[in-house]
Structure 1
Amino acid sequence: MDDRTVDKIFSGSLETLPPVSSKVCRIFTSSTFTDMLMERNTLMAEVYPRLKEFCREKHGLEFQVVDMRWGVRDEATDDHMTTELCMREIDNCQRLSMGPNFVFFGGQKYGYRPIPTVILGSELLMLRDALITMGVDTILIDTWYKRDSNAVPFVYILQPISSILVNFNNKRVPKLQAQDQATWWDTLAKMQKLLRKAAQACYNTHKMDKEAMHNYFMSVTEREVIKGVLSVKNTKNHVLALVRYINNINLQNLRRAANFIDIVNRQIDGEAMKLLSDLRDVRLPGRIEATNYDRLAKETHGEYLQQFCTDFYKGMTKLIDRAMRKEDSSAQGQIITEILQHLHACKNSVTVFYGREEEVKKVEDYIKGPSVNPLLLHGAGGCGKTSLLAKCASNCIEWLSHAKPILVIRFVGTSPESTALTPLLTSICHQISYNYMLPFEDIPDDLVPLTAHLKELLNCATDQMVS
């Protein structure tokens, strides 16, 4: 960060703010559900607590895990929002996390392959025509996909399950719920076949490219990997993959085997295996640094699980340490981070600010006026005090255009340094001292002399340089 940017931050400028350093390490864990159940449970019980402690004690970070294989509500399934929720959470992890943000646990199961929730209108009509040409009934497609003409271009939207199977979420009558749920999964399987058959036909006749066709064959896990790995520029510092191979899956017990490998019609799903192999063994290693891609193949389950946990912990701590080495951990760097958090909070609070002209004018008159008494805004919770103050703070540069105002903005309780009085006043003293080129060493540690020192600093303000 150059000196000019640092000066602007300390002056409280809200223009072109650099991003604030995150205090969170937030990872999205991607895997199929049944085959990685033991691994995820073990991480939850044994490794995540250690990583929480590591992040907190060594770097002052909060460690968070997003595991969408747990806790997705029935309503999300009903509205077909599960995949969309996963994509949003990956976005959140990429935006918020310091260091690693995506971890892939891979086995020999490609996983659940939903049908698209939204299909471009022209594309669905093309698929429908392909089915009709092949003499296939389209009543299922017509029943479950409805046209949305409000979208431009128009689209077809997969209807909520309970809008047609009304007892799908009816937990009060379990028998009816079970019947509708069974009907839905049977219907879904039929629609999967129809859409894939139509997409393949359109691809064969050059009406659809390979990527568009693949959209109807893709698993949720592959969509996550595309979002979290394959479409990311820098995977070196943010992505970890652990891949497991089981050589002796017992296919005599298909119900048990189906937890670890894709089974369809009591046979291994060859199509799913090809898709998985391409993703896991070709595309993924091609985008991840070799040291972040771990292949595990121990003889016994106990040895494997221990190695899995060890490698995961080492991989995560390596990426976290690497990210933190790039951070400015100096005293001044920490002060800048604190100020930036409040400047961003101020800027975000006024992006959609409207009205309150009378109150804003009163604050403007106070700022421009001769009064040296504090101005107090009070009101019921949620009435908009924070937004009003943020708006007035952002207007101060314009109101005091004749001077060089220093904006000391703090939203109490929104950052680690603003949750207690002593660090709050200390950070304010740091900001004012920097602008008047006063030594930080003069700032007392104890609250009583610190308060007196702040009063002295406030006296530094002049008509030309106001704080």
Structure 2
Amino acid sequence: NTLNIHVCSLQIIDPYEGMDPGNWPTQQERLQLLDECRQNSLGPFFVGLVGRQYGSACLPEQVELSEFLTILQVCQQKGFSSDALEKCYRRNENTMPSSFCLLSQHAYKKQQDTQPRSKIENSWHEVAGKGRKILNDVVSQCVLEGKIDSERAQKYFRSSLENDLRYGLQGSPADIRRCLCYVHKTSEEADQSKRGNEQHFEFQAQMPRLNQLRDDFLPGLVKSHGALVYTAASEQHCQGRYADELGQQLCSDLMALIHSSVVRERSQAQNSLSQQRHLCRVFSRLYRIERAEVSQ
């Protein structure tokens, strides 16, 4: 196959491997991992899978001091409790500029080491959930009042999916064409609109951002940078078949990207070698010394 022909090594890294979100890398660690893959991979370095779930908004890992204080002030004015935010964040004067930084689950556990372990884990997820809810309401109000710029406020509303996609699919057109993205739409999305439970309302709240990703952001990259984005739709009962077809398509696309990258790399190496040889011939003519034969 392509990997054997070119003697390539393919390593797949899933930052969301495992069932416990507490073991997943932080947002900063994920973005750093993406940078390393971008720099060290000859061919493809990012594969994005977009389905019907957008995910909950991420708590920003760092909020500038003035902005965080503005949020706390609006909390007090609107009668919201800022207790959850103050538990999630700690002031850090070592950052530039001074900021409030998000505690990791491990750091939060360390502060609560007097409580049973199971209770601490539940407490962290509960506090983080309350923090997300408060930030969503308060930052929305700050945007309406002009205290926080709309573009700057986006970091409070984006999920891990959107953060990873936007970070992975940036850079030069050549880098973007080394990425693969697969969008899958199902009939279950339409069924969700008929339900009236809590999950339905969360789904409805996330749909505008998910649709913006699938229908605006990704197609825009296709037009402007030639990004490789595939969109498929299937019935809910056909998802097993879609998974099989996706695996085959992914394998084919990866091999094609690896092949084109290796061929391009070899072509560049050959061109470089040809240029060096040409320079050697030029320099050799410049330093050629001709002497007339002397008879004795």
Shift of 1:89: 1.1
Question: Secondary structure at the residue paired with 1:150?
Answer: coil
Report whether the alignment pairs 1:210 with 2:150. yes
1:359-407 residue CA offsets vs partner (Å, 9 max, x unmatched): xxxxxxxxxxxxxxxxxxxxxxxxxxxxxxxxxxxxxxxxxxxxxxxxx
State how far apart, in whole Å, the 2-side matches of 1:134 and 1:190 are.
16
State how far apart, in whole Å, the 1-side matches of 2:135 and 2:122 are.
20
1:178-198 residue CA offsets vs partner (Å, 9 max, x unmatched): 222111111111111111222
Match of 2:162 in 1: 222
Shift of 1:291: 7.5
Q: Tell me if the contact between 2:139 and 2:156 (Cα under 8 Å) persists in the aligned partners.
A: yes
Shift of 1:73: 8.4
Counterpart selection for 2:2 from 35, 49, 54: 54
State how far apart, in whole Å, the 2-side matches of 1:244 and 1:169 are.
43
1:395-432 residue CA offsets vs partner (Å, 9 max, x unmatched): xxxxxxxxxxxxxxxxxxxxxxxxxxxxxxxxxxxxxx
User: Relative contact order: is structure 1 or structure 2 higher (C-alpha 8 Å, sep ≥ 6)?
Assistant: 2
- Superposition map of 1:372-387 within 5 A: none
Give the TM-score taking structure 2 as reference length.
Answer: 0.78
1:72-92 residue CA offsets vs partner (Å, 9 max, x unmatched): 988766xxx521121011101
The code of the aligned residue for 1:58 comes to I
The code of the aligned residue for 2:57 comes to R
Match of 1:287 in 2: 221
Match of 2:293 in 1: none
Report whether the alignment pairs 1:314 with 2:252. yes
1:48-71 residue CA offsets vs partner (Å, 9 max, x unmatched): xxxxx532x121221111111115
Q: How many pairs were matched up?
A: 270
The code of the aligned residue for 1:272 comes to Q
1:227-251 residue CA offsets vs partner (Å, 9 max, x unmatched): 1114554355311111111103696
Question: Secondary structure at the residue paired with 1:115?
Answer: coil
Q: Tell me if the contact between 2:108 and 2:124 (Cα under 8 Å) persists in the aligned partners.
A: no
Report whether the alignment pairs 1:201 with 2:201. no
The 1:110/1:130 distance shift into structure 2, 3 A limit, reads same
Match of 1:179 in 2: 119
State how far apart, in whole Å, the 1-side matches of 2:135 and 2:30 are.
23
- Superposition map of 1:33-182 within 5 A: 54-55=2-3, 57-70=4-17, 81-166=25-110, 176-182=116-122
Q: Tell me if the contact between 1:103 and 1:241 (Cα under 8 Å) persists in the aligned partners.
A: yes
Shift of 1:333: 4.6
Shift of 1:267: 2.2
Larger Rg computed on CA atoms: 1
State how far apart, in whole Å, the 1-side matches of 2:91 and 2:254 are.
45
**Which has the larger displacement, 64-73 or 209-218?**
64-73
The code of the aligned residue for 2:254 comes to M
Give structure 2 stretches of 5+ with no counterpart.
Answer: 274-280, 285-296
Report sequence identity in percent.
21
Q: Tell me if the contact between 1:241 and 1:293 (Cα under 8 Å) persists in the aligned partners.
A: yes
Counterpart selection for 2:210 from 276, 298, 305: 276
RMSD: 3.5
State how far apart, in whole Å, the 1-side matches of 2:180 and 2:71 are.
38
Shift of 1:131: 1.1
State how far apart, in whole Å, the 1-side matches of 2:197 and 2:17 are.
25
Question: Secondary structure at the residue paired with 1:99?
Answer: coil
State how far apart, in whole Å, the 2-side matches of 1:267 and 1:311 are.
32
Shift of 1:274: 0.7
The code of the aligned residue for 2:2 comes to F
Shift of 1:143: 3.2
Counterpart selection for 1:296 from 208, 226, 232: 232
Shift of 1:140: 2.5
The 1:115/1:288 distance shift into structure 2, 3 A limit, reads same
The 1:160/1:284 distance shift into structure 2, 3 A limit, reads same
State how far apart, in whole Å, the 1-side matches of 2:164 and 2:67 are.
23
State how far apart, in whole Å, the 2-side matches of 1:165 and 1:303 are.
43
Q: Which of the pair is proportionally richer in helix?
A: 2
Question: Secondary structure at the residue paired with 1:64?
Answer: coil
